[in-house]
Structure 1
Amino acid sequence: MEDHSMFQTYIIGFIFLIIFYYIIKRPRIGANEPPLVPYTIPILGHTYDYLFHTKKLIKKCKEQYGECFSIYVFGRVMTIVSRSSLNEVFKSHDDFDLAISEMIPFHLVFEHSGGLDKVIHINARVAREEISGKFNIYTPIIQKYLLKGIDKWIGDCKEPKAIPRTWSMFNKITALPISNVLVGEEAASHDDVVKSLGDLAFDLGPLVAIPPILAFIHQKLHEFVITLPLRFGWNPISHHREVIINRIKPVIEKRLNEKKVLGNDYKPYNDALEWYMNRPDFDYTNSKKLLFYIDALFILTFGAIGTTSRTVTNALYDMAGRPEYLNELYEEALMIDKECNGSITFSDIEKMKKLDSFIKESLRHTDETLSLAHKVVPESFTFSNGYTIPKGRLVNLFMSDILKSKEAFGDDAEEFKPFRFVNAKSPATKVDRSYVVFGGGRRACPGRFFAINESKLILHKVILKYNIKTQNGNIENKVYIGPNTTPSRNPLIYENRK
């Protein structure tokens, strides 16, 4: 009898504990905030639907509450915006880096950079001035190493060849020319340099793969647990840092010696490393300063190789499932190839109108439900519609809503029409209120010109060399992971053009 009474006491105590926890964790919404969408599961809120039925959840919420509303996921309120509110976020906030840092602890991974915000303005200049700004100079070297990579990882396909892990393979192919652009041909001639720069983004995957379950208790608790290995000395980029330092130090010494000997006759190298070396505070003999620039290089790499290879991979799957459009792209590629005799120039890339349109349509159909999260800092923000978002709130952007807006793209906005932009004077690099895959406002991605032009060059070479199709002849679906997507993981079939 006494044991039964004790058991009842424990049960009652546990129930009161749950009720108390629910009360203190219940979201509190201010009077002028966007409406919080009601939910039926205490504590969990909208988390389940956010993970497994994201598109349905967010679309339904927008239909009921308009373009600005809040949901409760992983123990916190998240505000979702779209259309005009989305562009207000781009225009008014420079806090994209803070939102990223909540998913990937940049301040610990890239410990020598002092955090993403410390180097983002430097890398924006590198991307704009050195990388995108000199694409016409880089075109021959990119072409050279792309062909080398295609021959190495795809090769001769006299007989149809099924190649798995398309994104991983094109990440390797993309890493080859980009490594040469980042650190120069001498350093990039080492396979370990190309591998390290190519693997960097994928090696950070485990840090974002753990669902933030502990955030139901407190956001900082989740961050503390996932960063424990980092705090005890493990870092997924430590090996890459050693590789790059060992390979670029001799290159730096060689260039500095050339400057000393040649003086005004010294001809600067065209790569990001040279740009970093010309910074007034660059000093490779000072370990702290050298490590700062190594981490800056890694952050630049993180946003360059993986995203470009993802764009190429998605476009390839979109082509492979639509042979009638692939044939049209081949005809355009063949005409340009004959005109330039196989040696593509920047002006030839600009002639790839159908391919550019195809890439833009592919980017429009990545099917990301939410993307480009921002964090409201340093104080609360009020939209033109009167809603106020408090300081510290995470704001996520309803990406698919604006990218498939009928007002912007017509009644067929939901359809995949690969050549809809051919005569629209709207290249894949152009950022506007309805095409926000590269962000918007002052912080629109400065490397998008390089990324799109390199993607066109890669796809041009692949289309010329191979006929590509899916295994089952159908259009492949993306892999959905909560509000985000990755390219299909099924093999593609490659066969030499006759």
Structure 2
Amino acid sequence: MGEYLKETSVFQTYIVGIIILIIFYIIKRPRIAANEPPLVPYTIPILGHTYNYLFNTQKFLKECKEQYGECFSVYVFGYVVTVVSRDSLSEVLINREVFELDIFEILPFNMIFENVGDFGKVAHINAKLAREKISAKIEVCTPVIRKYIVEGIDKWIGDCKEPKEFRSIWSLTNNIIALPVANIMVGEEAASHEDVTKSLGDFAFDIGPLGAIPPVFSFIHPKLHEFVITLPLRFGWNPVARHRKIIINQIKPVIEKRIKEKKTLGKDYKPYVIKDEFDALEYYMSQPDFDYSKLHYYVDALFVLTFGAIGTTSGAVTNGLFDMAGRPDCFNELYEEAMMIDKECNGSIGFADVQKMKKLDSFVKEVLRHSDDTLKRLHKVISESYTFSNGYTVPKGRRINLYVNDALKSKDFYGDDADEFKPFRFVNENSPATKVDRNYVVFGGGKHACPGRFFAIHEAKIIFHKLILRYNIKTKSGKIENKTYLGPSTLPPRGSLIFENRK
């Protein structure tokens, strides 16, 4: 009798579990209106397309587009995502009043940068700074970039009379790029402290793991995933806190010194500048509503700015080094151009000399085109709804993901060899790496395209130029290294590079 009751209890438990799963499935089953992009059918209840989205991304999305057209929706991690391809992608990028970049879906920036508050205001200030005081003044900044890139190469790579193997290439390039960026952002006085440049360079890597946590709890409710990944922050652990303390300790006396001089000298005060241009600290201090008591706010704003200025550029340079090292013919041709330009400028390259690097510019653009991110820039519909030019309508709150690889590898635009890496594809095409269009969306599009792209490309070309002249670089494997795939995104290859002095 006891055994019978035990088996009955187990059976009842199974029944209750099945009922709960059925109810959960009914509640979570996506509902698509008649005029919305078609929802791709799926066979696994609850999970939907999540497996293919994570582990078979490129093939899965390519097949979806071939079968369902320009716009389609998939069901991943418990919510519907509409994927827009090449012809509709630009509509998302240019209509900011409808589509908002969903940065909080990727990382809890509002809790990480707890002193910012109004991200819209900070984004506006930083965009203006990047556009008017950095990208527009690259010629002024070039000597600083060149000086500190050379210093960084000497420090972190150095003399390679005997071949040296370097394993953490992304970390290596990040350290080098952090030097010129730090000097331009906080000025040479504050950046002379090694811990300042290290913090500005490292903090993006420190917060990165938070964004790498898959939103598995979103199957239950999206807010639950947000709650789980922010638990460490809620209990006082913030990966930015240590870096914030370092930056404040070093820039506080610099700012106090400048404030004192402003009060003492009045109209005779001369801003601290890089030649004729403000550094970022001076720019923040020049704002009409600058308030020294809110120093934490400006430091967090600085971190938001450098988050993109250092980490993304160093990632692109790392990809480029592997692309170059695995293609000896390409490397040799870039070396010939570098030698010619170096001879013309007697080793002291300026803005005009960088502009002459046509082959290198084409190479950099091809590196960026082959980032191999399948999807990028998650957006959210913030208006009541939006109807694309193809007739499909997406409702308010819908997540929109951009099928960037469909644009970057478009055979209609780039030809039948669009999937092939051709380093000098753009040499005679009047198509520099900074130029955005509907098929080259690395930096976004329209008037909202990344304002710092001119500085980033300029800096990347200088570091490539210096490395090409100084070293022979090859992959340890002797082959072209593959990137690391994380679902629809990629990270630079994890292999080793061998550096050796040029004879």
TM-score exceeds 0.5: yes
- The change in CA–CA distance for 1:231 and 1:95 in structure 2 (over 3 A counts) is farther
Structure 1: how far apart are the matches of 2:136 and 2:97? 23
Structure 2: how far apart are the matches of 1:67 and 1:93? 21
Is the Cα–Cα contact under 8 Å of residues 93 and 376 in structure 1 kept in the other structure? no
- The change in CA–CA distance for 1:116 and 1:354 in structure 2 (over 3 A counts) is same
SS of 2:102 mapped into structure 1:
helix
Is the Cα–Cα contact under 8 Å of residues 96 and 373 in structure 1 kept in the other structure? no
Q: Which amino acid aligns with 1:336?
A: I
- The change in CA–CA distance for 1:477 and 1:96 in structure 2 (over 3 A counts) is farther
Structure 2: how far apart are the matches of 1:326 and 1:472? 16
Is the Cα–Cα contact under 8 Å of residues 140 and 345 in structure 1 kept in the other structure? yes
Identify the match of residue 133 of structure 2 among 130, 134, 137.
130
Match of 2:358 in 1: 353
Match of 1:75 in 2: 78
More deviation, 273-282/254-263:
254-263
Deviation at 1:262, TM superposition (A): 4.0
Stretches of 4+ moved more than 4 A in 1?
94-98
SS of 1:93 mapped into structure 2:
coil
Structure 2: how far apart are the matches of 1:460 and 1:97? 37
Q: Which amino acid aligns with 1:489?
A: R
Structure 2: how far apart are the matches of 1:139 and 1:293? 25
Match of 1:395 in 2: 400
Q: Which amino acid aligns with 2:369?
A: R
SS of 1:133 mapped into structure 2:
helix
- What per-residue deviation string (whole Å, max 9, x for no partner) do you get for residues 431-470 of structure 1? 1111000001221100000000000001100101001111
Q: Which amino acid aligns with 1:495?
A: E
- What per-residue deviation string (whole Å, max 9, x for no partner) do you get for residues 164-201 of structure 1? 11011100110011000110000000011011100111
Q: Which amino acid aligns with 2:26?
A: I
Number of residue pairs matched by the alignment:
495
- What per-residue deviation string (whole Å, max 9, x for no partner) do you get for residues 21-72 of structure 1? 1110001111111000001110000001111100011000000001100000
SS of 1:27 mapped into structure 2:
coil
Percent identity over the alignment? 67
Structure 2: how far apart are the matches of 1:433 and 1:218? 35
Match of 1:55 in 2: 58
Structure 2: how far apart are the matches of 1:372 and 1:174? 24
Deviation at 1:96, TM superposition (A): 7.0
Is the Cα–Cα contact under 8 Å of residues 109 and 237 in structure 1 kept in the other structure? yes
Match of 2:453 in 1: 448
SS of 1:381 mapped into structure 2:
strand
Match of 1:144 in 2: 147
Is the Cα–Cα contact under 8 Å of residues 98 and 383 in structure 2 kept in the other structure? no
Identify the match of residue 171 of structure 2 among 168, 172, 179.
168
1:315 aligns with 2:323: no
Deviation at 1:98, TM superposition (A): 4.5
Q: Which amino acid aligns with 1:328?
A: E
1:428 aligns with 2:433: yes
Structure 1: how far apart are the matches of 2:312 and 2:159? 27
Structure 1: how far apart are the matches of 2:73 and 2:403? 12
Structure 2: how far apart are the matches of 1:163 and 1:185? 29
Is the Cα–Cα contact under 8 Å of residues 364 and 433 in structure 2 kept in the other structure? yes
- What per-residue deviation string (whole Å, max 9, x for no partner) do you get for residues 395-450 of structure 1? 01111111011111112111111111111111000011110000012211000000
More deviation, 243-252/180-189:
243-252
Match of 2:25 in 1: 22
- The change in CA–CA distance for 1:230 and 1:118 in structure 2 (over 3 A counts) is farther
Q: How does 1:309-348 map to 2 (within 5 A)?
A: 309-348=314-353
Match of 1:461 in 2: 466
Deviation at 1:115, TM superposition (A): 4.8
Q: Which amino acid aligns with 1:280?
A: P
Identify the match of residue 154 of structure 1 among 147, 157, 164.
157
Is the Cα–Cα contact under 8 Å of residues 101 and 116 in structure 1 kept in the other structure? no
Match of 1:41 in 2: 44
Is the Cα–Cα contact under 8 Å of residues 184 and 279 in structure 2 kept in the other structure? yes
TM-score, normalising length from structure 1? 0.97
1:290 aligns with 2:298: no
Structure 1: how far apart are the matches of 2:21 and 2:142? 62
Structure 2: how far apart are the matches of 1:267 and 1:411? 57
Match of 1:227 in 2: 230
More deviation, 373-382/170-179:
373-382
Q: Which amino acid aligns with 1:109?
A: I
Q: Which amino acid aligns with 1:311?
A: A
Structure 1: how far apart are the matches of 2:472 and 2:346? 21
Structure 2: how far apart are the matches of 1:330 and 1:6? 76
Structure 2: how far apart are the matches of 1:408 and 1:94? 29
Is the Cα–Cα contact under 8 Å of residues 37 and 82 in structure 2 kept in the other structure? yes
Gaps of 5+ in 1: none
More deviation, 107-116/460-469:
107-116
Match of 2:10 in 1: 7
Structure 2: how far apart are the matches of 1:132 and 1:402? 26
- The change in CA–CA distance for 1:428 and 1:98 in structure 2 (over 3 A counts) is closer
- What per-residue deviation string (whole Å, max 9, x for no partner) do you get for residues 316-353 of structure 1? 11100111011111111111111111111101110111
- The change in CA–CA distance for 1:45 and 1:369 in structure 2 (over 3 A counts) is same
Structure 2: how far apart are the matches of 1:239 and 1:161? 33
- The change in CA–CA distance for 1:98 and 1:405 in structure 2 (over 3 A counts) is closer
Deviation at 1:257, TM superposition (A): 2.8
Is the Cα–Cα contact under 8 Å of residues 198 and 305 in structure 1 kept in the other structure? yes
SS of 1:419 mapped into structure 2:
coil
Q: How does 1:358-373 map to 2 (within 5 A)?
A: 358-373=363-378
- What per-residue deviation string (whole Å, max 9, x for no partner) do you get for residues 283-325 of structure 1? 21x1xx2222111111001011001101111111110011101
Deviation at 1:94, TM superposition (A): 5.2
1:256 aligns with 2:256: no
Q: Which amino acid aligns with 2:347?
A: G
Is the Cα–Cα contact under 8 Å of residues 99 and 381 in structure 2 kept in the other structure? no
Structure 1: how far apart are the matches of 2:136 and 2:14? 67
Structure 2: how far apart are the matches of 1:144 and 1:267? 24
1:86 aligns with 2:94: no
Q: Which amino acid aligns with 1:193?
A: V
Structure 2: how far apart are the matches of 1:432 and 1:3? 68
Identify the match of residue 276 of structure 1 among 276, 284, 295.
284
Match of 1:303 in 2: 308
SS of 1:5 mapped into structure 2:
helix
Gaps of 5+ in 2: none
Structure 1: how far apart are the matches of 2:361 and 2:260? 43
- The change in CA–CA distance for 1:95 and 1:190 in structure 2 (over 3 A counts) is farther
Deviation at 1:116, TM superposition (A): 3.0
Q: Which amino acid aligns with 1:107?
A: N
Deviation at 1:97, TM superposition (A): 6.0
